[in-house]
Structure 1
């Protein structure tokens, strides 16, 4: 059992909650933040306690630097340190490029990229000050690498998270801190309209090699791997957990070629 401390932002539902519960099951004490879903955060905390682990909660506004500092500093104090940080909190906005409002662009970038930078810096400073050989896992997206129609703000913010991860890994390596990211594809969370515990296999995605959305628990498994000693030689990378979405261009290209060959025949 690790008997270590993990802090997860945005853990009132979805990937954040699944990660908190999975890491608690592995023996981590857990700190969680939430933005507005206090009831959801309390439920996550209840389940962590039921797993026999300590838990601390703080409200945090991901777009407010002062709130990030206050919440994360308090969690580190409450729990007595931090070994693993899951930089999970984020938001969405989709609109055609010609219609995208600057306020929506600024909100998404402030939350997904600037907020992730501030939170990562706060935690990394705690790790460095205590000499902790820590692990930071940022939540990116498969859309770090693949554009999405109407996704200028979201995709740009996640591409930024991918490069932020690499730069953090370079700068923090000398401190013994590893930094990686996961890049989920579509995941069945409340943010995507899913209900916790629903059968994701019922959501057919025939265009994907694995023809369904991902489960929050599958993302939590990937995060736990990157936080574990099994990944001690891994830093500065994004692990895509996308059901094969990155392969869709190859599938589409094959279809186009086969159709063209059929026409020639």
Structure 2
């Protein structure tokens, strides 16, 4: 009899996402800004896209028109992430219409500018639901489908520079985005064996309706506290999302990609509040 200790069997190799060429994507909050730019960029990469909207149905329809102009299919559904957990069912609805889901972009979000001592529970609950719990539940539904499909997938969570650094007056927003960043890392670990990559994109100040800069020419705006000296364009964020959603990012998971013009090197408060370029000189 062989009394030597038995060698534990090696775990089965995880399925690889390297061969995935995504054909279907769901982008939440795609009625304007980063969501719209992302949907159009993914369509240009060859994906049919499901879009969600909260208040601006017309904006979502315009996004869908831009997607179809790229020769791809587009479908829209309403999504209110304060109505959880039922709201997350929209991922399944759109996946059915698309015939599957290869990519989920959790972009829908909200925020507040309220001093910590003045926050009420309702505001905190709303921001946490929309920016953290909602993305978790949407990603869970998408990932379950990706696992059943058996070909891997991509999940990209749009966080913020405030995933990494705080801002005065944004306590629940920072808490939610920081939580979403760490959730991204846990998801990346747990879903890797199914060939699903999970990454975060952390924008700085981007010219969108949310920042009061819809249709702004960012090259004409001055931001002395940002090393690149201007706000970002939504299409610059969408380009990074599209990379992470595509086949070239097959070995990238659990990472957070700042798209901020260097703001994090300065700190978000300095990035938005410095009034001149004196910091550039010793």
Q: Do Structure 1 and Structure 2 share a fold, with TM-score over 0.5?
A: yes
Judged with a 3 Å threshold, the aligned counterparts in structure 2 of structure 1 residues 129 and 201 are, in CA distance, closer, same or farther, namely same
**Within 1, Cα distance between the matches of 2:227 and 2:147?**
42
Task: Give the drift of 1:183.
Answer: 0.3
8 A contact 2:22–2:102 mirrored in 1 = no
Aligned counterpart, 1:215: 233
Shift of 1:70: 2.8
Matching residue of 1:63: 82
How big is each residue's C-alpha offset from its partner over 1:182-222, in whole Å with a ceiling of 9 and x where there is no partner? Answer: 000001000100123x2112221011101111110000000
SS in structure 2 of the partner of residue 85 of structure 1: strand
| Structure 2 equivalent of residue 158 of structure 1 | 177
Assess if the C-alpha contact under 8 Å between 2:203 and 2:258 holds in 1: yes
Superposed structure 1 runs of 4+ greater than 4 Å apart:
249-252, 254-258
Are the equivalent residues in 1 in contact too, given 2:158–2:202 (CA < 8 A)? yes
* Secondary structure, counterpart of 2:199 in structure 1: strand
Tell me, yes or no, if the aligned pair for 2:22 and 2:245 is still in contact at 8 Å: no
2:60 pairs with 1:79: no
User: Which stretch has the larger CA shift, 97-106 or 210-219?
Assistant: 97-106
2:125 is matched with which residue?
106
Secondary structure at 2:232 match in 1? coil
The CA distance in 1 between the partners of 2:128 and 2:111, in whole Å, is 10
Higher helix share: 1
CA distance in 2, matches of 1:132, 1:55: 22
RMSD: 2.0
Shift of 1:228: 1.5
What TM-score, normalized to structure 2? 0.86
Taking structure 1 as reference, are residues 256 and 91 closer, same or farther at Cα in structure 2, changes over 3 Å only? same
Match of 2:114 in 1: 95
Aligned partners of 1:60 and 1:67 also within 8 Å = no
How far apart are 1:80 and its partner, in Å?
0.3
Query: Does residue 1:142 correspond to 2:151, yes or no?
Result: no
Residue 133 (structure 1) aligns with: 152
Question: Structure 1 CA distance, aligned partners of 2:281 and 2:79?
Answer: 51
3-state SS, counterpart of residue 26 of structure 2: strand
Between the two proteins, the alignment pairs up a number of residues equal to: 255
Structure possessing the higher relative contact order (Cα contacts under 8 Å, 6 or more residues apart): 2
2:217 to 166, 187, 199: 199
Deviations 1:30-71 (A, max 9, x none): 111111211000111111111110111111111223443331
Tell me, yes or no, if the aligned pair for 2:23 and 2:48 is still in contact at 8 Å: yes
2:24 is the counterpart of 1:5: yes
In the alignment, structure 2 segments of 5+ residues that lack a partner are: 1-20
* Higher Cα Rg, which structure: 2
CA distance in 2, matches of 1:123, 1:178: 12
Given that 1:24 and 1:53 are in contact with CA atoms closer than 8 Å, whether structure 2 keeps it comes out as yes
Q: TM-score, normalised by structure 1?
A: 0.92
Unaligned 5+ runs, structure 1: 259-265
